[in-house]
């Protein structure tokens, strides 16, 4: 999401849309802030489904490598039975 916003803002600046730059930058910032909390929440829940601690989401702050470390557990199947974070969402 950050990379996409950065690319769009850079594209606007290089194409001469400077008059609208402040407006679009504000709008992208607002959309980013609105979507950030649900994105973190869903990611932490998915990590909990695989019996991993939610703080692993902070590894996303490490460019490229951190994102890959977080994506791999989220692609795996969740626990079929209850784990330390509660019952399996597939069973309930």
Distances (CA, A) of 90 to 11, 41, 69, 81: 43, 18, 24, 9
pLDDT at site 72? 81
pLDDT at site 17? 60
pLDDT at site 81? 73
pLDDT at site 61? 82
Q: Tokens 């400077």 identify what position?
A: 18
Answer whether 78's CB lies under 8 Å from 91's CB: no
Residue-range domain boundaries for the chain:
2-75
Residue spans of the chain under pLDDT 50: none
Indicate whether this model's pTM tops 0.75: no
């Amino acid at each position: 999401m950050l990379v996409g916003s950065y690319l769009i803002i850079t594209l606007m600046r290089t194409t001469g849309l400077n008059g609208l730059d402040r407006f679009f930058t504000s709008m992208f910032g607002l959309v980013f802030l609105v979507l950030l909390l649900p994105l973190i929440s869903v990611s932490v829940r998915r990590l909990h489904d695989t019996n991993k601690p939610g703080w692993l989401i902070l590894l996303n702050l490490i460019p490229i490598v951190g994102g890959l470390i977080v994506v791999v557990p989220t692609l795996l199947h969740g626990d079929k039975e209850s784990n330390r974070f509660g019952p399996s969402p597939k069973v309930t």
